[in-house]
Amino acid sequence: MQNDELVFLKLIKKIKSYNPTTDEQTIRKAFEFAKKAHEGQKRLNGDDYIIHCLRTAGILTELKLSDTIIIAGLLHDVPEDTKYTTEEVKKQFGLEIATLVSGISKLSNIKYRGTEKYIDNIRNMFMAMAADIRVILIKCADRIHNLETLEFLPQEKRARIAHESLEIFAQIAHRLGIAYLQNQLEMKAFPFAQPREYAWVTSLITKSYTQAKQTQLAKIINKLPTILKTHHIPYLKIYGRTKGLYSLYKKLLRKGRDLNKVYDYIALRVIVPSIEDCYRVLGMIHQNWQPVVGRIKDFIAQAKPNGYQSLHTTIFDDEKNLIEIQIRTPSMHETAEYGIAAHWLYKNETGAIDETDVRWLKEFATWQKNIETDPKYLEEFKLDIFQSRIFVFTPKGDVMELPEDSTPIDFAYAIHTRLGDGCIKALINGQNLALETKLKNGDMVEIIANPHKKKPKPEWLSFVKTRTARNRIKSAIRDKYKNI
């Protein structure tokens, strides 16, 4: 049997473990279609290309995702890298899958160029161009497998992809509350993005440090079940969980690089059946071990903006070591691990989401509520908060965010008043187009300005979209009449 056939059978087995009614036939059809399309193509590590498609789908099964997403995952590189078009995918697999696949292709045009100032814009642009959250899930899975084979790429390419993974992909996964994807991306990108810092963190986590922590934890793990049983408090699981190294690294930076100030590298996790049990367990723990003041956090009553819920507390154990304990229900656990992706297979029972001043997180909370009240909403789940915004590139590769229907004049004024005033010509993707042309997502815009021209043209008022541009043009017109 061929290697790809074995990987495929493993994939099917995994899907069946969480979705017994999977449409195996269509998944096989997608596998064979992708295999034929990529025939003769090799990955840099020597694998047949189809292995990459299968692994990408495999990562999606870790999130227990639906057939549609798995199939789109298998086909994700077809229009980009083979002679088969999106049209062909549509003919074979229908509009929904074709739309997902073409969404993934569009995203490959966005390249991270390390301009820190605009990183937020790049993230937002990414979300806007993805349009469907499922596209982002597939893109993250694709990226995770690319990171797994990163060592075969040339040095500078490695660093760029690793940085992009940390700053764009992992951050988006975090915003969507999908810890599973975030951890995978961070874990695999960290050593390539910051080799020295990675080496430093690994040197801190010595064997004896880990062992000491685990011994501390074991003492509580041995005692807690008896306490809970005596008080008839049910629990499902008590275990130690270890933080990812990149997440530990970020925390160390906030704590003056002092490992002694990090209490949750290894934390204790207690899973209980209901919300009520969460609070009862918390009470029992506090009765038996002294809690640290100011470290009790109720993320059940007040969920984090990305939907995360749990009770956190830090206690002194019998030897006065500090240990963090996290208490949650299975459904909270699933929301924490799979975030928005959990909605595709699991009913979600999260409560209200905290208001935040970040515009898009507010919108995100609304989507979550809509999904809870109407599961159908998910079918049309679109990242429409960005539909009124577009993202365009400067010639240097920076990303500017503008309202929909913005023109090169709006773009010029967004960069600098003088650039707007002096604007005589605009090159959009290298083409000389009219100044009233409406810009589209992903356009690269270059403004040609005459440094001696210091006045905007009044007729620009009829098409500009941004307040900045409009106000500047109006005030220039007023100045003109003042001088008469």
For Mn ion, the closer CB: 77 or 334 = 77
Residue type, 310: S
Q: How far apart are CA 164 and CA 183, in angstroms?
A: 15
Query: Which one of residues 4, 48, 77, 164 is an interface residue with Mn ion (CB under 5 A)?
Result: 77
Interface region with Mn ion, contact rule CB under 5 A, candidates 77-85, 233-241, 312-320, 429-437: 77-85
- Residue matched to tokens 């059940």: 300
132 carries an active-site annotation = no
Q: Nearest approach, Cβ of 142 to Mn ion (angstroms)?
A: 4
Q: How far apart are CA 260 and CA 240, in angstroms?
A: 18
Q: Nearest approach, Cβ of 145 to Mn ion (angstroms)?
A: 7
The residue at minimum Cβ distance from Mn ion is: 142
Q: Nearest approach, Cβ of 279 to Mn ion (angstroms)?
A: 45
For Mn ion, the closer CB: 77 or 132 = 77
Tell me the residue length of the chain: 484
Tell me if 346 sits within 8 A of 317, measured CB to CB. Answer: no
- Residue matched to tokens 């002679």: 83
Q: How far apart are CA 340 and CA 334, in angstroms?
A: 10
Q: Nearest approach, Cβ of 271 to Mn ion (angstroms)?
A: 35
Q: What is the DSSP letter of 410?
A: H
Tell me if 283 sits within 8 A of 258, measured CB to CB. Answer: no
For Mn ion, the closer CB: 89 or 285 = 89
| Spatial CA neighbour of 48 closest among 84, 101, 3, 85 | 3
Q: How far apart are CA 78 and CA 38, in angstroms?
A: 7
For Mn ion, the closer CB: 148 or 363 = 148
Q: Nearest approach, Cβ of 146 to Mn ion (angstroms)?
A: 7
Q: Nearest approach, Cβ of 52 to Mn ion (angstroms)?
A: 6
Residue type, 253: L
Helix (H, G, I), strand (E, B) or coil at 360: helix
In the structure encoding, which two tokens stand for residue 479, read together?
């100045």
Q: Nearest approach, Cβ of 35 to Mn ion (angstroms)?
A: 14
For Mn ion, the closer CB: 104 or 159 = 104
The single residue of 67, 80, 298, 446 carrying the catalytic annotation is 80
Site for Mn ion in 298-357 (CB under 5 A): none
Give the Cβ contact number of residue 145 at 10 Å.
Answer: 21
For Mn ion, the closer CB: 162 or 311 = 162
In the structure encoding, which two tokens stand for residue 57, read together?
């789908």
Q: Nearest approach, Cβ of 139 to Mn ion (angstroms)?
A: 9
Helix (H, G, I), strand (E, B) or coil at 298: strand
H helices present in 38-154, as ranges: 49-62, 67-74, 78-81, 86-93, 95-107, 119-130, 133-148
In the structure encoding, which two tokens stand for residue 351, read together?
């409560």
**Count of residues of this chain found to bind Mn ion when the rule CB under 5 A is applied:** 2
Interface region with Mn ion, contact rule CB under 5 A, candidates 14-22, 73-81, 269-277, 415-423: 73-81
The contacts of residue 451 (CB under 8 Å, 6+ apart) are: 418, 422
Sign of CA dihedral 267, 272, 274, 279: negative
| Spatial CA neighbour of 181 closest among 149, 143, 146, 148 | 143
| Spatial CA neighbour of 99 closest among 75, 128, 122 | 75
Q: Nearest approach, Cβ of 28 to Mn ion (angstroms)?
A: 20
Q: How far apart are CA 355 and CA 362, in angstroms?
A: 6
80 carries an active-site annotation = yes
For Mn ion, the closer CB: 77 or 443 = 77
For Mn ion, the closer CB: 192 or 367 = 192
The single residue of 81, 372, 398, 446 carrying the catalytic annotation is 81
For Mn ion, the closer CB: 132 or 142 = 142
Q: Is 47 one of the binding residues for Mn ion (CB under 5 A)?
A: no
Interface region with Mn ion, contact rule CB under 5 A, candidates 76-84, 93-101, 368-376, 428-436: 76-84
Interface region with Mn ion, contact rule CB under 5 A, candidates 69-77, 101-109, 131-139, 236-244: 69-77
Site for Mn ion in 132-161 (CB under 5 A): 142
The burial class, CB within 10 Å (0-12 / 13-18 / 19+), for 215 is exposed
Helix pair 95-107, 119-130: axis angle to 10 deg: 160
Interface region with Mn ion, contact rule CB under 5 A, candidates 70-78, 219-227, 234-242, 307-315: 70-78
Interface residues with Mn ion (CB under 5 A)?
A: 77, 142
> Catalytic amino acids?
80-81
